[in-house]
A and B are shown apart, each in its own frame.
Chain A
C-alpha cells in the first residue's frame, strides 16, 4: 500500500464517521423542532425541594388552573404515560404503544388529524384516536372511524379520530390516544380531587417570553390557594422549553426517554471533532510523506521554470481533488454504514439528499479542509525545494517532536476516555441494584386474580419450585412518582417517596432489614400502618435509628416506622437513591414470584395453571425481572456499540497517523541511519536508538495525556449516580498500548531501513 492509498482510505473513513456523527448529532439536537410552535411550547415542570430535584410530572388539576389563572397561557394539554398495550379487535390480538391525553395535544403539537367524527372527538366517553399505520394494521384500507377496539382485556373504545403517524423525532410517542378524563373518572372521586398525585405531563403554549420569566412567582399564590402554603414553600414550578426536553432532561424525573443526554451528544461531538482533527493532521503528515516520491518532479519543474505560484496552485488543487475524492468516498461509505447501524438499533441517521443546505455545507467543508490540508504542504513545497538540494530541508525538531507529542496525546486521551466510558457504561448496566433480581418473575394482576388474591397467593405458594410470592403497587423495575412531606418529631420536614408493598416483599427480593419492630405484617386493625424506610431516609431524617417506632402523617394516614431496609435501585443504576418509605399492605397489582433456578419451565407451567383457574379471559403473561432490567439498557447497549465504533475508528485513524508520521520522520533520518551503520552501528543498535528518541516524546505525551484524560473523565462521571472508579490501571493500560504501537511501528520501519545495505541509505542522497 502506498502512502497515498493509506491517506485516502484513512481520510474517507474518518470523513464518513464525521458525517454520521454530524447527522446523528443534528438529528438529536433538532428533536421536536418539526412542531410549528416549537419556540412557544413548554412543559410544566417542578423543582421539588429547591435542591435540584426536578420533576416533569404534574397533577391533572393544574391544567384548568393554568388556563384560567395565568395570563398568557394560550393552550394547555396533558399527556399520561405511553406504554405497550393489548388491543383486541374481532378476536384478533395486537400490541401497540398507547397513552392517555387531552385532545388539545393535537392543537399544540404538529400532529395532523386526518379524519374525525366531530370537532370534539373526545366528547363521548371511551373515545380514542388511532394513528394511520395502526389503523392500517388492524383495518387495512377501511376507515377506522366508528369502529371499536377492546383495550387490555377490559373496556371497549370507539375510534373517533385518525391521525398521521407521529414523527420519530418527537418526544411524545403514541400509536393511539385515549381520553385522559376517562382515566380520571375511572380512578375515583378521591383521586380526581387529589392535588399531589403527580402522574402526567402538562404542556402549554405561551403567548410570549414574559410568561416564562415570571412563571415561578406567579404560581406561588396559586399553589397556596389550591393546595396550601406548605406547598408553595416547598416547590418551584417552572416552564421547560420543548426544544430542551430531549437532551436536557437527564436530571428530570418522569421525563421522556433520556437515554441520549447532552453529555452523550458532547461525547459524540468530541469524538467526531477528534476524528476530524486527527485525520487532518494525518492528511498533512501523509501528504508530506507521500510527496517524497514527487519531490524530484517538483525540483525538475522548478529548474525548467515553473513559478512558485504555479506549483502552489498545483498542489492546492491536488489536495482539493484528494479531499473531494475522500468526501465522495466518505458519503459512499456512509450510505453503506447507515443500514448497518440501523440493524444495530441506531435510528434517525439519514443523508438529507434533497436538502441544498447539506450540500452547500459539504462543499464548504471540502473547500475549507482541502485548503487547510493543502496549504501547509503546498507552502512547504513551493518554498523549500530548490533544484540543487531537495534534501536539505528537514522539519525543525520542535515541529517533529510537537507532532509526535500531539498525535500520541490525542491517541492516549482517546484510549483512556474510551476505556473509562466503556467501564462506566458496563458497570452501570451490570452493577448491583441492591436486591437479588435473578429468578424473579413479575406480572400484573387482573381483577380475576386481584379480587381473590388470598386464594391465588396460597395456590401459587403451593406450586413446587416457587420460593415466595409478594406484591407491590408499582412495577419493578420502575420508578416512584409520589412523594409527600412528612414531619417526624425532632426532625426537619422531609419529602419522602412512598409506595405500598406486601409484608414479605423484602424477604422475597432479598433486601436486608434491620432494627425490625417485631414481625413485619400488614394490620388493618391498627390505627397506624406499618412502614419500612430506607437508609437514605434515615440519613435525611437525621435522628439515627431512633426513627424506628416513630410515627408520622402520610397524607391522612398515620404511619409507624417498623424497620429500616437497605437502599436499592427501583429502576436502574442511573437513578439517584431517594428517601423511600414502603407502607405494608395486603396486596398490590404488581406480582413478584421467586422461583428455583432449575426446572423453570415446569414451574412456570404450574403457575400458569393456577392463573387460569382465576383468570380465564386473559392469558398469563409474565417477564423475568432480569430481562426487563437488561431491556432498560437496550438503547444504552446500542449506543455503546456506536461508541465503540467511533472510538475504535478514532484510535485506528490515529494509529494510521502514527504510522505515517513515523514513516515521514524516518525518511529524514535515513541518511543518518546509513552514516551510523558505515561507522560501525549494528541494525539493532540503530533501531534501539531511534526508538529511544521516539519513546521519549511518547512518554512525554503520556505525562500530558494522564491529567487531561483524568480531568475530562472526572467531569463526565459527575453526570452519573453510579460512578466507576478511575483506576490507575486504565491509564497504565492505555499508555502501554500506545507505547507498544509506537514501539512496533518504529521498530518495524527502522528495521527495514537499518537492515539494508548502508549504501542504499546513503544513495538516498
Chain B
C-alpha cells in the first residue's frame, strides 16, 4: 500500500464490477475512472440500473470491485479483505441511505452512538458527542424515541447524525431525499451542504436535478460508464 500526502480523496482506475449468477453475467460498472478531491461535493446521476449505487457502495468499501484499482485517501484499497475494509471505514466514511437504515430496536441515541461504540470511544465522551450533535440537528428532544416513532424527515436527520458523529472525511449519500417530501428533502440537502462547507467530502447518488444542484460537480452514468462530467462551480 502506498500512502502519500494528497488532495485526492477518491481515485478509481478502470474500476469494473461484474455480477455473476449461474446463467447470467451483468457488468454493473465498466472501466470507471473517477477522481474526487478532498472537500468536493459530487453528485452521481443516471437512469435506474446504471450502476450508481454499486459505484457508491464500492467507494464506501461495502462492496468488492471485480477488476481495476481504487485509491482511498492515497491508499490502494482494491485488494483489502473484509476485516481490513471495516477498519478503513471506521471513522473515515459515513453513510446516508434512502431508506434510512436505522435499527428499529435501538433508540435514536443508541443508533447515533453506534459508530462510536465500534471505535471504542469511552462512554462519557460518546454521550457528550451524541447529545451535542442531536441538539445541533434539532432532534435532541427525541433521543430516547425509537425510529418507528419518528417522521421520515426526522429519521433521515438521525441517519445523517449517525453518519457524521465519528467525524468522517467522506460522506456517501444514496438518494438521501428519495423517501422524503420536498420540505424535508430541502432540509436534508441544507444539512449536507453545511457539512460540505465545514470540510467534509460528499458523494451523493440522486435522481433529483434540484438536489444535484447543490453539488460542485455532476457525474452522469449510463450502463456502467461515465458519460459526462460537468462542473457546476469552480472549486473554492
Interface residues of A (CB under 8 A from B): 394, 397, 671-672, 674-683, 685, 755-759, 762, 765
Contact A675 to B86, CB < 8 A, known contacts A680-B119, A681-B118, A757-B62 = no
**B27 close to A (CB within 8 Å):** no
- The CA of A397 and the CA of B106, in the complex, are separated in Å by 13
> Is B142 engaged at the interface, CB distance under 8 Å to the other chain?
no
B62 and A676 contact, CB distance less than 8 A: no
CA distance A758 to B58 in the complex (A): 11
Taken together as a complex, chains A and B put the C-alpha atoms of A674 and B114 apart, in Å, by: 13
Contact A678 B99 (CB under 8 A): no
Q: In the assembled complex, which residues on chain A have CB atoms less than 8 Å from the CB atom of B118?
A: 676, 679-682, 685
Among B39-47, B71-79, B88-96, the stretch that binds chain A is: B88-96
| Contact yes or no, A680 B91, CB < 8 A | yes
Taking CB atoms and an 8 Å cut-off, the chain B residues in 147-181 that contact chain A are 162, 166
Flag if B115 contacts A680 (CB, 8 Å). Answer: yes
Chain A to chain B contacts (Cβ below 8 Å), 6 pairs: A394-B104, A671-B101, A675-B103, A676-B118, A683-B82, A757-B63
With A680-B89, A762-B101 already in contact, the answer to whether A755 and B82 are too (CB < 8 A) is yes
**A757, chain B: closest CB distance, angstroms:** 5
Q: Which of A679, A680, A682 has the most CB of B within 10 A?
A: A679
Q: Is B16 an interface residue (CB 8 A)?
A: no
* Alpha-carbon separation in the docked complex, A676 to B105 (Å): 13
* Smallest CB gap from B81: residue in A: A755
Q: Are B62 and A759 closer than 8 Å at their CB atoms?
A: yes
Given contacts A672-B103, A757-B63, contact A678 B95 (CB under 8 A): yes
Chain A contacts for B89, CB-based, 8 A: 678, 680
Q: What distance in Å separates the Cβ of A250 from its nearest Cβ neighbour in chain B?
A: 54
Q: Is there an interface contact between B83 and A682, defined as CB atoms closer than 8 Å?
A: yes
- Bound CA span A680–B61, Å: 11
When C-beta atoms are compared, the residue in chain B nearest to A765 turns out to be: B99
B residues less than 8 Å from A756 (CB atoms): 82
The reply to whether B63 and A676 form a contact with Cβ atoms under 8 Å apart is: no
In the assembled complex, the CB of A511 is this many whole angstroms from the nearest CB of chain B, namely 69
- Is residue B64 contacting chain A, with contact meaning CB distance below 8 A? yes
User: Which A residues are CB-close (under 8 A) to B86?
Assistant: 677, 680-683
With contacts A672-B103, A757-B64 taken as known, whether A679 is within 8 angstroms of B162 at the C-beta atoms is: yes
Q: Which residues of A contact B62 (CB under 8 A)?
A: 677-678, 757-759, 762
Q: How far is the CA of A169 from the CA of B83 in the complex (A)?
A: 67
Contacts of B105 in A (CB 8 A): 397, 672
Contact of A679 among B64, B87, B115 (CB under 8 A): B115
Q: Bound state CA distance, A680 and B104, in angstroms?
A: 18
B57 within 8 A of A: yes
CB closest chain-A residue, reference B172: A678
Residues of A within 8 A of B95 (CB): 678-679
Q: Give the residues in chain B near A397, CB-CB below 8 Å.
A: 105
Measured CA separation A757–B64 after assembly (Å): 8
From B82, B101, B104, give the contact of A678 (CB < 8 A). Answer: B101
> A674, A677, A680, A682 — which one has the most chain B CB atoms within 10 A of its CB?
A680
Distance in angstroms from B167 CB to nearest chain A CB is: 13
- The contact size tier of chain B is 20 to 34
Contacts of B104 in A (CB 8 A): 394
Q: What's the nearest-Cβ distance from chain A to residue B97, in Å? A: 8
Minimum Cβ distance to chain A for residue B29 (Å):
13
Q: Is the CB of B63 within 8 A of A759?
A: yes
Provide the bound-state CA to CA distance between A394 and B146, in Å: 15
| A677: nearest chain-B partner, CB-CB | B86
Q: How far, in angstroms, from A683 to B57 measured CA to CA in the complex?
A: 18
CA–CA, A676 and B95, complex, Å: 12
Shortest Cβ gap from B59 to chain A (Å): 12
CB closest residue in chain B, given A675: B101
- Cβ distance B102 to chain A, nearest Cβ, rounded Å: 8
Cα–Cα distance between A672 and B102 once the two chains are bound (Å): 8
Q: Mark B106-123, 1 if CB is under 8 A from A, else 0.
A: 000000001100110000
Q: Which chain B residue shows the least CB distance to A755?
A: B82
Complex: A8 Cα to B87 Cα, angstroms: 43
**Assembly CA distance A756 to B83 (angstroms):** 10
How many Å lie between the Cα of A716 and that of B91 in the bound state?
61
| Closest beta carbon of chain A to B234's beta carbon, Å | 33
7 more A-B residue pairs beyond the given contacts A682-B87, A757-B62, with a C-beta to C-beta distance below 8 A: A671-B101, A674-B101, A675-B101, A676-B103, A678-B89, A682-B86, A683-B83
| Closest-CB distance, B20 to chain A (whole angstroms) | 14
Q: Which residues of B contact A758 (CB under 8 A)?
A: 62
* C-alpha gap A765/B174 in the complex (Å): 14
Q: How far is the CA of A676 from the CA of B111 in the complex (A)?
A: 10
CA distance A685 to B82 in the complex (A): 13
Report the separation of the CA atoms of residues A683 and B83 in the bound assembly, to the nearest whole angstrom: 7
Rounded to whole angstroms, the CA-CA distance of A315 and B227 in the bound complex is: 49
Q: Is the CB of B63 within 8 A of A680?
A: no
Q: In the assembled complex, how far is the CB of residue B166 from the closest CB belonging to chain A, in whole angstroms?
A: 8
- Asked if B114 contacts A679 (CB within 8 A), the reply is yes
B90 touches A680 (CB 8 A): yes
Nearest opposing residue in chain B for A672, CB measure: B103
Bound together, the chains give a CA A671 to CA B102 distance in angstroms of 9
Tell me which residues from 21 to 49 in chain B have a Cβ below 8 Å from any Cβ of chain A: none
Residues of B within 8 A of A759 (CB): 57, 62-63
B129 to chain A, nearest CB (A): 14
- Measured CB to CB, the closest approach of chain A to B103, in angstroms, equals 5
| A672 vs B114: C-alpha distance when bound (angstroms) | 12
Roughly how many angstroms separate A681 CA and B119 CA in the complex, as a whole number? Answer: 9
4 closest Cβ pairs, A-B complex: A680-B118, A680-B90, A758-B62, A759-B63
Closest CB of chain B to A91's CB: distance in Å? Answer: 79
B148: nearest chain-A partner, CB-CB: A392
Q: Which residues of A contact B90 (CB under 8 A)?
A: 680
Chain A residues contacting B82 (CB-CB under 8 Å) are 683, 755-757
Report the bound CA distance from A759 to B59 in whole Å: 12
Chain B residue nearest in CB terms to A761 = B62
Whole-angstrom distance between the alpha carbons of A610 and B190 in the complex? 114
- Minimum Cβ distance to chain B for residue A761 (Å): 9
Q: Within the assembled complex, what's the spacing in Å between the Cα atoms of A470 and B162? A: 91
Chain B residues contacting A394 (CB-CB under 8 Å) are: 104
Q: Taking CB as reference atom, which chain A residue is nearest B113?
A: A679
Q: Note all chain A residues with C-beta closer than 8 A to B115.
A: 679-680
B-chain residues with CB within 8 Å of residue A765 when the two chains form the complex: 99
Cα–Cα distance between A758 and B118 once the two chains are bound (Å):
15
Residue among B60, B87, B114 with most chain A CB within 10 A: B114
- Interfacial chain A residues near B166, Cβ < 8 Å: 680
On chain B, the residues within 8 Å of A674 by CB distance are 101
Binary interface encoding of chain B residues 50-71 relative to chain A, with 1 for a CB under 8 A from any of its CBs, else 0 = 0000000100101110000000
- Bound state CA distance, A756 and B62, in angstroms? 9
A678 to B111 CA separation, bound complex (whole angstroms): 12
A756 to B63, CA, bound (A): 9
Closest to B92 in A: A680
Which residues of chain A are near B103, meaning CB under 8 Å?
A: 672, 675-676
- B63 surroundings in chain A (CB, below 8 A): 757, 759
Complexed CA–CA distance, A676 and B102 (Å): 10
Give A397 to B86 CA distance when docked, in angstroms. Answer: 29
For residue A680, give the distance in angstroms from its CB to the closest CB of chain B.
Answer: 4
A759 to chain B, nearest CB (A): 4
Q: How far is the CB of B28 from chain A (nearest CB, A)?
A: 12
A685–B83 Cα distance when bound, in Å, is 11
Bound-state CA distance A682–B87 (Å) is 8
Closest to B54 in A: A759
List of B residues within 8 angstroms of A675 by Cβ = 101-103, 114
- Give A507 Cβ to nearest chain B Cβ, in Å: 76
How far apart are the CA atoms of A175 and B8 in the complex, in Å? 100
In the complex, which residues of chain B have a beta carbon less than 8 angstroms from the beta carbon of A680? 86, 89-91, 114-115, 118-119, 166
Contacts of A762 in B (CB 8 A): 62, 97, 101
Chain B's nearest CB lies how many Å from the CB of A315? 27
Whole-angstrom distance from the CB of A349 to the nearest CB of chain B?
A: 47
With a CB–CB cut-off of 8 A, which chain A residues contact B83? Answer: 682-683
Contacts of A681 in B (CB 8 A): 86, 118
Least distance between B170 CB and chain A CB atoms (Å): 13
Give the Cβ gap from B176 to chain A, nearest Cβ, in Å.
Answer: 15
